[in-house]
Amino acid sequence: MTIKKDPNLDTEWNDVLRAKGILPPKEEKEITEEDLIKMVESTIENKSKELEWMLSQTGAVNIDLEEALRGEVKDVMNIAIRDSAKKQKG
């Protein structure tokens, strides 16, 4: 029985095998600007949903809003998330 392992799997053992020349160099995937935008948008959306859920669970905010207001609430939440991230970094 042969198990085929992914040589691009990021493990310390594979790094050692690459250093010894047993495995080929790791293939680096180029990240485009579009990929970065998708990652940031996805993160913002996930954090917005998480914050929305937390606020609804605490009863601090009734999230049963009209769709027109939902976008404005998301904008405010996104700003709050960014400010919070800046404070944590700094």
pTM beyond 0.85: the answer is no
Q: What integer best gives the mean pLDDT of the chain?
A: 77
Task: Count up the domains in the chain and report the number.
Answer: 1
CA 64 to chain centre: 26
Residue 22 lies in a domain: no
pLDDT of residue 20: 93
Task: Tell me which residue range forms the domain holding 71.
Answer: 29-89
Establish if 4 belongs to a structural domain: no
Assigned domain for 60 exists: yes
What 3-state DSSP class applies to 79? helix
Q: Read off the pLDDT of residues 16-54 as tens digits, 9 standing for 90 and up.
A: 888 999 888 877 788 888 888 888 889 988 888 888 888
Q: Is residue 62 part of a domain?
A: yes
**Residue 8: inside a domain:** no
Q: Give Cβ neighbours of residue 80 (< 8 Å, ≥ 6 apart).
A: 51
Q: In whole angstroms, what is the distance from residue 19 CA to residue 2 CA?
A: 24
Instruction: Please report, for residues 2, 7, 19, the alpha-carbon distance to residue 12 in angstroms, rounded to integers and kept in the order given.
Output: 22, 12, 11
Which pair of structure tokens corresponds to residue 16?
């050692």
Q: Is the pLDDT of residue 67 over 70?
A: no
| Domain-embedded: residue 12 | no
The answer to whether residue 41 is domain-embedded is yes
Residue 81, in any domain of the structure: yes
Dist CA 78 CA 42 (whole Å): 12
- On the question of pLDDT at 1 being above 70, the answer is no
